[in-house]
Structure 1
């Protein structure tokens, strides 16, 4: 069989990014707005939770196994050598509040990789961890930091109790229905509709994307985690019934891990054309016919207690996942990612300061409770 041929990837350089004037002020406003909304949620819930992805559906231990025999362009950064890393993984719902699962929005997967050596980003120089923060949907609904600020400003007032949960449920259901229509016509999801009305299927059948670009050693890439275990493949893709149980997604995920392993294939899409694969616009889907996602590793999650009380507290109260916890070789790129680099630490500081918690950056999997 003839080997597949791929277009030459664009080399990474520092001038691949183009920072617009006033971006720092925009990010300051994002932090202020999200902190304000988080404080409103805390008034209702009596506790300050994550400003996004507050409600976990699983908190997991596992391994990341880099594939042997990768071609040179894929042997970059964390994936340079065929080795196995321990990891901690958090699966969660999108909103920055603990809503009933009848409000089915986008979802997230956060991965913390242990034992990672090499130059890190500023503020993370003495650590040996690498975080990846993924979400459902191949792109972000907003192109850049300015677009995201406009979106969250438009949504202010919906969090913290001013919008009834029943209304949020109706908005989610309507967005999901409209997204089905869009998908039937175009063959793909609407990023905005999927963000607010993600199909309420089992969390372990979803793909999880970096959405925006990041450095990939000598190149630039996006990353996706694709479910591949037989047990996941056997799960129904039909919507789960969330009408009676407000924790449907959590219960379904915890129940799965009682008897089954999960596995995701980590795939990388290299940037081969900056015109069709822009770095500064996170709302543009990079065409896979120009550069397909290619496997570089396996995320192995064995059967386990996916929501023990001790582990839940450790993940939710002390530990954080941030794009800035990164090798320099995987520096997040583009306006949206630059916003995340500043926003995540500020919101963690806000949340943990209000709750009186100390930030924990574990150095090994053994520090995380079972």
Structure 2
């Protein structure tokens, strides 16, 4: 009986320690502000990130240089981005200022890895949205999202350390002290590396990073307007089955996506500088403010695929009312510029200037 009591005591102590351990790693040190905080070493860390990104591109390039992230595009499709007519007046900022406005749009769906991989592999999935002729001819507004609501690095220094690490698992589980491990960030990575969706239009996409919406700070989300509806069988042995499934869907009809915003509440734990912290929907629910309509079409021609490959996307192609904010967004400005320049020079191609359709 004494042995059983001892064992029970040990189990209880271990459970208490486990709960404390999990609680410890669920916490973060992010400061909640409504304004950006720029570290003294950000310029140095930004150049480090640019160099790392170019290294990733050169590591995976063959006869072609691909994007340093989201290298494999499934499609670039034509769409309409329609501003909803029932938006709260306080949210009518930038492109959302005029209800019932419609923008011609290009949408690129992609896998997240920097290598051209089989669609069946666990990976992040992305959507890049390019609105045409906002405010004036030739000006674009672009939104970039992927399929996880929280990023896997807390700051720019950590991101660079991860990219430079030869053993990614050791980066998250460094040393013998488990209290120094990065379990929250590792959890975010594992949530991102998910099995493939049935097709790209049935995935949920999140911005991770924050943006201005006039005086507000927001994050974005894109999801299907309708419940899931499988229209054909997939052959997942085909390495490009996501592209082919999407092609079948859009040959048979169109698709509808909702574009949503989540407002920062500075009284809640919703930091703008640490994209690894999830903004809880219970603190601030998403609000639908636009509808994306993808009409029936054929997109998988060689010409359109090459056009898609040559396109360049950046969250900094944006109106001032939608300015990207936070450390990760600030570094993306320089990284994406350098990446696009290197890729197009290596491939001897130009960024398409004629985008209208």
The alignment status of 1:153 with 2:164, answered yes or no, reads yes
Classify the secondary structure of the residue corresponding to 2:110. Answer: strand
Unpaired segments ≥5 residues, structure 2 = 1-32, 169-183
Q: CA deviation at 1:229?
A: 3.6
Aligned length: 306
Conserved 8 A contact 2:201-2:224:
yes
CA contact (8 A) 2:74 2:243 kept: yes
1:142 aligned onto 2:121? no
* 3-state DSSP of counterpart to 1:138: coil
Please state if 1:320 is matched with 2:312.
Answer: yes
1:33 Cα deviation from its structure 2 partner = 1.2
How far has the Cα of 1:73 moved from its partner? 2.0
Within the alignment, does 1:201 sit opposite 2:220 as a pair?
no
Task: Report the CA distance shift for 1:215/1:249 in structure 2 as closer, same or farther (over 3 A).
Answer: same
User: What secondary structure is seen at the aligned counterpart in 1 of 2:325?
Assistant: coil
Any residues of structure 2 matched to 1:166-315 within 5 Å, and which? 190-195=187-192, 197-202=193-198, 203-229=200-226, 233-235=228-230, 242=236, 244-273=237-266, 276-315=269-308
* In 1, Cα distance between equivalents of 2:94 and 2:119: 37
Superposed CA deviations along residues 172-207 of structure 1, whole A, max 9, x for unmatched, are xxxxxxxxxxxxxx9xx9321023x21222222111
Contact 1:322 1:344 in 2 (8 A): yes
Equivalent residue number for residue 35 of structure 1? 54
TM-score relative to the length of structure 1: 0.78
Q: After superposition, give the CA deviation of every residue in 1:61-110 in whole Å (9 maximum; x if it has no partner).
A: 01000001211222111111111111000000001121122322001100
RMSD: 2.3
Higher alpha-carbon Rg: 2
The runs of 4+ residues in structure 1 deviating greater than 3 Å are none
Residue 51 (structure 1) aligns with: 68
1:250 match: secondary structure: helix
Which among 121, 136, 141 is matched to residue 130 of structure 1?
Answer: 141
3-state SS of paired residue (2:77)? strand
In structure 1, runs of 5+ residues without a counterpart are: 1-13, 119-125, 158-185
Corresponding residue for 2:338? 346
1:103 equivalenced with 2:124 (yes/no): no
Provide the rounded CA distance (Å) in 1 between the counterparts of 2:135 and 2:167: 41
| Change in CA separation of 1:274 and 1:337 when aligned onto 2, cut-off 3 Å | farther
Partner of residue 19, structure 1: 38
Instruction: State the SS of the aligned residue for 1:112.
Output: strand
Q: Is the 8 A contact 2:121 2:195 kept in 1?
A: no
TM score, norm. by length of structure 2:
0.81
Q: Measure the CA separation in 1 of the matches of 2:258 and 2:131.
A: 15
Alignment partners' CA distance in 2, 1:331 and 1:257: 33
